[in-house]
Amino acid sequence: MKAEAPNKIIKERNDYILIKQESKNRSIKCDSDSIAGSVSQRACVYCGARVVLNPITDAWHIVHGPIGCASYTWDIRGSLSSGPEIYRNSFSTDLGEEEVIFGGEKKLERSIDEIIKANRDNPPPVIFVYATCIIGVIGDDIEAVCKKVQTKHNIKVVPVKSPGFAGNKSAGYKAACNALLELMDKNTSNMGSNSLNILGDFNLAGEMWIIKKYLSLFNINVCSQFTGDSRCRDIKKAASARLNIVQCAGSMTYLAKKMRALYGIPFINVSFFGVEDTKESLLKIADVMCGEDTVKKVYFYLRKMEKEANERLKKYKCRLAGKKAAIYVGGGFKAISLVKQFKSLGIKTVVVGTQTGKKEEYESMGDLTDAGTVILDDSNPFELEKFIVKTGAHILVGGVKERPLAYKLGIAFCDHNHERKHPLAGFEGAVNFAKEIDSSINSPVWNLLGAGQQ
Ligand code: SF4
């Protein structure tokens, strides 16, 4: 593809679009607020905070704002729980005109009182109170209200400072991480600890359980998990872990850095998407957490699992070789894993983009892809459509917002986000992924549409 100005309508967007050339590329602009006029695929600050905190299964989540903010994020994560289901509710203060004019603090206090009264027999350990756009505009002091009700009811009430317009989705991640830090017991020691914290896995379709199963085989204990299938009491003791492993780097690197500074806990980046990354990640963890004998056991186990998975992947590789993929996901680390996973299946990535990727992550994507690959930061439907059509991608991998785009274009789609029902992590997940890509790309329905099978 020619290195032309890719977005002729909103020229400022061109800095956020990179078409990989054989020669040295310029670097892509990223990690900044969306350009006005571009209908970004990114969620708002509040939504960024909510997706990180929502999987804490025994917490109440109260959204201080108009009802729409709460309904749009109701049960948003699709993350599974092995116990409480409280997190699947969505409480809202349902602000109206009166509160917008005269302030909503009293209504917030009344709302918290009301749900505590209604659940007197089963009070939650923590209540999160999210600030939405309008709260930033009218200036409610949610921190003061949270403090007041916390004292009144003797229940931890944590303000999440996330007015939707106050930055981009990454600011919401930060607000969520700050709320998590507030829950941690600061007087815990991690001397002699043999446990780790899992950061950035949200237990979609039970993926946290797969990771924990691998770790348990080598007697590595999990102290806290952020935040898939997590409980407030576990988050409280997070500072007693010896290591933090970070899967979703976009949402959790800030927390990992904070915990390193505050509690001296080091962190490593991991990914359990794809055979190669799962193997590498388990080895990295074993190197830090295990003695020599256990590391040997890990090697042996991984060799066996890799062999089995590759055997099962063979039939899909034959059916997928030569296909082209477009990827548009939340964070850079996942996008990198997907590029590698596609490569291992014989599929070429022709478009790859993220909502919140970092410069180094885009550099890795550039290193892993061929000349002509389109790399996008904070894209919009117009650009995605244009590049999917231009590159002839057969499948789009993304989330709920990208699904209709793929189907309207008559190409296959794979949900790698909130709504999927089967795990895509670990060795078994790698096989599920190939199976899903195959059944979607090679579905006969595309022949009926006369598209998608180029
Ligand atoms: S916080 Fe603002 S941008 Fe986010 S859903 Fe609510 S109104 Fe919309």
Give the type of residue at 318. Answer: C
* pLDDT tens per residue across span 95-139: 999 999 999 999 999 999 999 999 988 899 999 999 999 999 999
* The pLDDT value given to residue 23: 64
For residue 77, which of 56, 106, 98 has the smallest C-alpha distance?
A: 56
Pairing of strands 374-377, 17-19: antiparallel
Residues 199 and 150 in one domain: no
* The pLDDT value given to residue 322: 97
Residues 267 and 343 in one domain: no
Around Cβ 326, how many Cβ atoms within 10 Å? 29
What does pTM read for this prediction?
Answer: 0.92
Best of 42, 73, 130, 133 to mutate for ligand 1, by most ligand atoms within 8 A of CB? 133
Residues of the chain short of pLDDT 70, as ranges, are 1-5, 22-25, 450-454
Residues 330 and 399 in one domain: yes
* Beta partners for residue 19, in sequence order: 374
Q: How far is residue 120's CA from residue 154's CA, in Å, rounded to a whole number?
A: 12
Find the residues whose C-beta lies inside 6 A of ligand 1.
44, 46-47, 65, 69, 72, 132-133, 164
**Residue 333, phi then psi, degrees to nearest 5:** -65, -40
Domain membership flag for residue 6: no
Domain endpoint, select from 276, 294, 312: 294
Residues 178 and 200 in one domain: no
Q: State the DSSP H helix or E strand holding residue 231, giving kind and residue range, or none if neither.
A: none
Domain membership flag for residue 5: no
Q: How far is residue 176's CA from residue 158's CA, in Å, rounded to a whole number?
A: 10
Closest CA to ligand 1's atom 3 = 164
Tally the domains of the chain. 3
How far, in Å, from the CA of 64 to the mean position of ligand 1? Answer: 11
- Its domain, for residue 214, covers 195-294
Domain membership flag for residue 188: no
Closest CA to ligand 1's atom 6 = 69
User: What count of Cα atoms within 13 Å lies in the side-chain half-sphere of residue 151?
Assistant: 5
Best of 47, 62, 76 to mutate for ligand 1, by most ligand atoms within 8 A of CB? 47
Residues 285 and 329 in one domain: no
Residues 205 and 274 in one domain: yes
Domain membership flag for residue 309: no
* The pLDDT value given to residue 5: 66
Residues 93 and 154 in one domain: yes
Cβ-count burial of 4 within 10 angstroms (0-12 exposed, 13-18 middle, 19+ buried)?
A: exposed
* The pLDDT value given to residue 197: 98
Residues 86 and 146 in one domain: yes
Q: How far is residue 201's CA from residue 234's CA, in Å, rounded to a whole number?
A: 15
How far, in Å, from the CA of 162 to the mean position of ligand 1? Answer: 9
* pLDDT tens per residue across span 169-223: 889 999 999 999 999 998 887 777 789 999 999 999 999 999 999 999 999 999 9
CATH of residue 341's domain is 3.40.50.1980
- Outline where 321-421 has alpha helix (H): 332-344, 359-368, 381-391, 403-409
Tell me the DSSP string of 401-444: TTHHHHHHHT-EEEE-STT--S--SHHHHHHHHHHHHHHHHT-T
How far, in Å, from the CA of 253 to the mean position of ligand 1? Answer: 24
* The pLDDT value given to residue 452: 47
Residues 56 and 178 in one domain: yes
Residues 116 and 17 in one domain: no
The pair of structure tokens assigned to 200 is 């950035």
For residue 172, which of 342, 304, 16, 44 has the smallest C-alpha distance?
A: 44
Q: How far is residue 116's CA from residue 60's CA, in Å, rounded to a whole number?
A: 10
Residues 264 and 211 in one domain: yes
Residues 162 and 268 in one domain: no
